[in-house]
A and B are shown apart, each in its own frame.
Chain A
Amino acid sequence: MNKLNNMKKSTKVDFATYLGVIIAFIVITVLMNNGTLGRKQVGLLVPACCYVVMAVSLNLTVGILGELSLGHAGFMSVGAFSGVIAAMSLAEAIPFEPLRLAIAMVAGAVCAGIAGVIVGVPVLRLRGDYLAIVTLAFGEIIKDLINCLIVGHDSEGLHIIFNFKGLKTVDDLGLLPGGNVIIKGAQGATGTDTIASFTAGVVLILITLFVVLNLIHSRTGRAVMAIRDNRIAAESVGINITKYKLIAFVTSATLAGAAGALYGLNYSSLQATKFNFNTSILVLVFVVLGGLGNIWGSIVAAIVLYVLPEALRSVADLRMLVYAIVLILVMLATNSPKMKAVLSRVIPRKKGDEVNE
């Protein structure tokens, strides 16, 4: 087809990204089936998928929209707990696990999206440091709110109470016999069915890539990047700043919510404190080291930086030292002109190619 020959450089990079994810999936599945991967390694797969989705979605806010958000784990948290509630309350109605997982992820995505709108509408009027501070606060508030949450499910439906004063217990839910408690306040979600699977994780990564990459290369994505590059000029050509900022921010939150749901359903017990400031920063590190606005970079960085500390558990004492050294080396390498020159010879990078096109 003519289209293939005239394909833009960016489109080629996109296809390579999809292809890379699919190849990685096939290779890992084969390794899993012939027993090369131990139980320990297999256990890392789903969280790694979640962090990849987190990194790609945060890249939409930080790299493409150009706004620093330090509360991305907050959206993951909203998605995780709403996903767990959805999955657990539908346990009897829908016994088929993949479908239940899909519904849980959609529920997580929708709830996180709504949280994204609620946070985004006032917050996106702020710029730079202020936006970072407010999103940071949002992440902490969500954590504390979920710590107060007690949720149970019985034949009558969902029972939700907020334990603001710390006086209420699970008994206050008034569950009928046969009902089960889903979230127990600060103890978090316990007894969750671990229905998350690696396949679902890869499907979620592919969906995320599809949404984010198509968004970037559409009219909407161009408007978002225009706002990032020059807000005043974007306004002067008639781009509605608030609208496009919100679209990017909410899309990012929605995808983080889906990742959260998958993450939540991978563990039988999950506390809200898991999604603290450190998690937000961790994801931000993936994005920054992978390259702002560089989607496949985020994927690689998320996988390497998530798997590396786990792989180094055997040398537990030196673990964080090696991790820190790797971070520093990556930063030095990506900033040194010599290294860039070497890299550009090995991999023909964007700049040179685009000029020749």
Chain B
Amino acid sequence: MSKKFEKPNMVPVPSHSIIPDRDVGKSPILECNHLGIDFGGLRAVDDFNLTVGRTEIAGLIGPNGAGKTTVFNLLTKVYQPTRGTILLDGIDTAGKSTIQINRMGIARTFQNIRLFSNLTVEDNVKIGLHNQEVYSTFSGIFRLPKYWKKEKVAHERALELLSIFDMQDMAAMKAGSLPYGAQRRLEIVRALATNPSLLLLDEPAAGMNPSETAELMENIVKIRDMFQIAVLLIEHDMSLVMSICEGICVLNFGQVIAKGTAEEIQANPAVIEAYLGKKKEA
């Protein structure tokens, strides 16, 4: 079997096909049109089209090196795309910085955990609230009434967010001393604190055992229902992807090879080839 995926095998799927019924009729939260980036001569991602509905849980899967994390980095403007457009809630994000993108409503977690490990769990969440509970440096130094008011709100909000994952008891612990699974959860809480409308999760279940993964799945759905936000996740754990993702997009060699529901993806010959043609795991 040839390693390289051949284009004629691609199943043409219209880009809106993965929006769940309840979001049809509402404008999508994210629209990527012909997105692409080159690193020198390498086309890392090419002609990437994706639409994510308002409250959809979407999955982005593909073999190692397919360009999934690159797509996340494009969405959050860690890299500026070479081609194509990204519309967030109908607004073009061209030329925006990572910081502006976060303020516009995209929050993310990282494949290799990036916490503020010398700070407490609570402070990590409060840093996520940085642009939510705002007061000036001056009020901070001189402890003006605004400081006390906003700090109180931030403290309560941080504990409230931590309680989603039952982590409020760990608030005073150093983030770096948390067990691995808790660190991953804290990253999600920190991302949620920035009040996103689209949450990007980069391998949230990596390194978790099956029971932790099952709990995580419940929590992702819970977060979506609570905050009414869209979730786009990269994951290698197929049990997670197939059970909670309403729409799945499969990438291989930087190109979309299939889109659809879990059943459609599992039956798609191109996907099977991309996975089985390379490696035994599916």
Least CB distance, B122 to chain A, in whole angstroms: 9
Give B170 Cβ to nearest chain A Cβ, in Å.
9
Interface residues of A in 217-261 (CB under 8 A from B): 218-223, 225-226, 228-230, 232-241, 247
User: Is B39 part of the contact surface with A, judged by Cβ < 8 Å?
Assistant: no
On whether A239 and B127 interact (CB within 8 A), knowing A218-B147, A219-B134, A230-B114, the answer reads yes
Shortest distance in angstroms between A212's beta carbon and chain B's nearest beta carbon? Answer: 9
Confirm or deny: B205 has a beta carbon within 8 angstroms of a beta carbon on chain A: no
A234-B76 CB under 8 A given contacts A218-B140, A219-B133: no
Q: Is A92 an interface residue (CB 8 A)?
A: no
Q: Is B172 part of the binding interface, using a Cβ–Cβ cutoff of 8 Å?
A: yes
> B235 near A: Cβ within 8 Å?
no
Residue pair B126, A238 in contact (C-beta under 8 Å): no
Would you give the shortest CB distance from B100 to chain A, in whole angstroms? Answer: 8
Residue in B117, B120, B143, B154 whose beta carbon sits within 8 Å of that of A354 in the complex: B120
Whether B206 sits at the interface, judged by CB under 8 Å, is no
Bound-complex Cα distance A235 to B107 (A): 11
Alpha-carbon gap, A218 to B138, bound state (A)? 10
Q: Which residues from B are CB-within-8-Å of A234?
A: 116, 127
Which one of B13-21, B24-32, B188-196 is at the interface?
A: B188-196
Q: How many residues of A contact B (CB 8 A)?
A: 33
Q: Cβ of B135 and Cβ of A236 under 8 Å apart?
A: no
A226 touches B76 (CB 8 A): no
Q: Does B272 lie at the interface of the complex (its beta carbon under 8 Å from any beta carbon of A)?
A: no
User: Which residues of chain A come closer than 8 Å to B140, judged between CB atoms?
Assistant: 214-215, 218-221
Contact residue among B78, B123, B142, B191 (Cβ-Cβ distance under 8 Å from A222): B123
Residue of A219, A237, A293 touching B102 (CB-CB under 8 A): A237
Q: Does B184 contact A (CB under 8 A)?
A: no
Question: Nearest-CB distance from A188 to chain B (Å)?
Answer: 34
User: A351 at interface (Cβ–Cβ under 8 A)?
Assistant: yes
Could you say which of A214, A225, A241, A351 contacts B142, with CB atoms under 8 Å apart?
Answer: A214
Asked if B130 is an interface residue, CB under 8 A from chain A, the answer is yes
CB of B117 within 8 A of CB of A229, answer yes
B191 to chain A, nearest CB (A): 7
Distance to closest chain B CB from A297 (angstroms): 15
Which residues of A239-287 have CB atoms within 8 Å of chain B's CB atoms?
239-241, 247
Q: A233-B110, A235-B99, A238-B103 are in contact. Are A222 and B127 (CB under 8 A)?
A: yes
**Nearest-CB residue, chain B, relative to A354:** B172
Q: What's the Cα separation between A181 and B130 when bound, in Å?
A: 51
Q: Is A317 an interface residue (CB 8 A)?
A: no
Report which of A210, A225, A233, A235 forms a contact with B115, defined as CB distance below 8 A.
A233
Q: B108 near A: Cβ within 8 Å?
A: yes
Q: Which of A218, A225, A229, A236 has the most CB of B within 10 A?
A: A236
Task: Choose from B108, B119, B174, B193 the contact partner of A226 (Cβ within 8 Å).
Answer: B119
Task: Tell me the minimal C-beta distance from B50 to chain A in angstroms.
Answer: 20
A247 lies within 8 A of B137 (CB): yes
User: Given A218-B140, A225-B119, are A355 and B150 neighbors across the interface (CB < 8 Å)?
Assistant: no
Cβ of A211 < 8 Å from any Cβ of B? yes
CB-based contact B134/A237 at 8 Å: no
Asked whether, in the complex, the Cβ of A237 is within 8 Å of the Cβ of B119, the reply is: no
Interface pair A236/B126, CB less than 8 Å apart = no
User: CB-CB < 8 A to A240: which residues of B?
Assistant: 99
The reply on A357 being an interface residue by CB < 8 A is yes
The reply to whether A238 and B147 contact each other, CB–CB distance below 8 Å, is no
CA distance A223 to B190 in the complex (A): 13
B266 within 8 A of A: no
Q: Which of A210, A220, A237, A354 contacts B194 (CB 8 A)?
A: A237
Which residue on chain A has the smallest CB distance to residue B102? A238
- The answer to whether B99 touches A239, judged by C-beta atoms less than 8 angstroms apart, is yes
Contact status of A236 and B76, CB under 8 A, knowing A226-B116, A355-B172: yes
| Contact among A218, A235, A239, A357 for B172, CB-based, below 8 A | A357
A290 to chain B, nearest CB (A): 17
Chain B residue with Cβ nearest A238:
B102
Please, could you name 8 A-B residue pairs with CB atoms under 8 Å apart, sorted by A? A9-B172, A218-B141, A230-B114, A230-B115, A230-B116, A232-B110, A354-B172, A357-B172
Known: A223-B127, A232-B114, A234-B127; 7 extra A-B contacts, CB below 8 A, are A218-B135, A236-B76, A236-B102, A236-B114, A238-B103, A354-B172, A354-B173
A residues lining the B interface (CB < 8 Å) = 8-9, 210-211, 214-215, 218-223, 225-226, 228-230, 232-241, 247, 293, 351, 354-355, 357
Instruction: Please give me the 5 A-B residue pairs with the lowest Cβ-Cβ distance, nearest first.
Output: A218-B140, A238-B102, A233-B114, A229-B116, A357-B172
